[in-house]
Amino acid sequence: MDKMIEIKNGDALELFKNIKDNSIDLIVADPPYNLNKDYGNNSDTKSFEEYIKFTEDWTREAKRVLKPTGTIYVFMGFRFISYLYQILEKSQKLNFNNWICWYYTQGIGKKKGFSPRHDDILMFTKTDKFTFNLDSIRVPQKFYRSVNNMRGANPGDVWEFSHVHYCQENRQNHPTQKPEGLIERMVLASSNEGDIVLDPFSGSGTTLRVCQQLNRKGIGFELNQEYVLMTEERLKMPFTGFDSIDPRMERVPNDLNDPAIREEYLLNHIEWFLKNHNGAKDIFYKEVEAKYGQKIAKEKSQKKTIQKSIFD
């Protein structure tokens, strides 16, 4: 196993006890939502009171182990999101920062009522002095304007990422595998290289895989031993890019009319937005061709004509 990554098999509430106070930079927690999913261990079928107590207990431990500069992100479904907010704010007295909506384009259909297309993610910090690397998580602008920051815009709090589809190579045999691109944004924003990231409900190992590729130390807890083995295999796979991307990362700004500015921007775009996303580069190149291909060809032929007229 990778020296930077540890996965522990067992109950998070027990495993937390081995983690020192104020030692973790970032917690990415994706607990069971208590919606009767089959994780092979009945962990998702608690009574209302049991689930609230479970949430109180693990979030208390999460607060204890977070560094004063630390951040916690918690995924949650509709049934317990309002209680989770109360617990993080009122019981644990953590600082609210963001209520993020993870928007996915596909999911189960409802006949009566609206088909759910999002999960919520709460971001709380331990104090008001927390790590946040905005430049690492910006998204491309829609237009080139000299007043726009072409390094990119703040991605906002509605994040679109597709689920990892069954036909994708990186799809694991786990019922609630999260997209790597989504976790990548949390890890880049709220930790630095070499920092320690804890995922107390690590499932198929998405957070650990992201930490491995972004040079963070990752610790995962997982109750189901099969998922631990699955994670160990996943961590050995060759890396060909994260399995999902915010579609805005592939967009090419309009109005890049000045050839010098365009050339510099397009080179930067790949470094700024498509690092770790090899699969997205082809789509990006196609969009560059569609938007600017004719212009670039015309500019090249004009340049040749000018050069020729100098030597004639």
Ligand X SMILES: C[S@@+](CC[C@H](N)C(=O)[O-])C[C@H]1O[C@@H](n2cnc3c(N)ncnc32)[C@H](O)[C@@H]1O
Amino acid at the residue 235: L
Please report where in the chains the tokens 């609630």 appear, as a residue: 176
Contacting residues for 218 by C-beta, under 8 A, at least 6 apart: 4, 5, 6, 196, 197, 198, 199, 207, 208, 210, 211, 212
Q: How far is the CB of 243 from ligand X (least distance, A)?
A: 10
Helix (H, G, I), strand (E, B) or coil at 68: strand
Give the torsion sign (CA, 142, 145, 146, 148): negative
Q: How far is the CB of 296 from ligand X (least distance, A)?
A: 41
Which residue lies nearer to ligand X by CB, 180 or 252?
A: 180
Which residue lies nearer to ligand X by CB, 9 or 131?
A: 9
Q: What dihedral angle (degrees, nearest 10) is formed by the CA atoms of 180, 185, 188, 189? A: -160
Q: How far is the CB of 44 from ligand X (least distance, A)?
A: 7
Q: How far is the CB of 195 from ligand X (least distance, A)?
A: 19
Residue 180 near residue 161 (C-beta atoms within 8 A): no
Which residue lies nearer to ligand X by CB, 91 or 224?
A: 224
Which residue lies nearer to ligand X by CB, 200 or 253?
A: 200
Binding site for ligand X (CB under 6 A): 11-12, 30-32, 39, 41, 43, 174, 176-178, 201, 203-204, 206, 221-224, 227
Which residue lies nearer to ligand X by CB, 12 or 188?
A: 12
* Rounded distance between C-alpha atoms, residue 110 and residue 94, angstroms: 35
Alpha carbon separation from 213 to 2, 64, 171, 236, 286 (Å, rounded): 11, 27, 17, 12, 27
DSSP string, 183-243: HHHHHHHH--TT-EEEETT-TTTHHHHHHHHTT-EEEEEES-HHHHHHHHHHHHSPP-S-S
Q: How far is the CB of 57 from ligand X (least distance, A)?
A: 10
Q: How far is the CB of 240 from ligand X (least distance, A)?
A: 18
Give the residue closest to ligand X by C-beta. 203
Residue 64's φ and ψ, nearest 5 degrees, are -60, -45
Which residue lies nearer to ligand X by CB, 80 or 227?
A: 227
Which residue lies nearer to ligand X by CB, 160 or 269?
A: 160
Q: How far is the CB of 189 from ligand X (least distance, A)?
A: 17
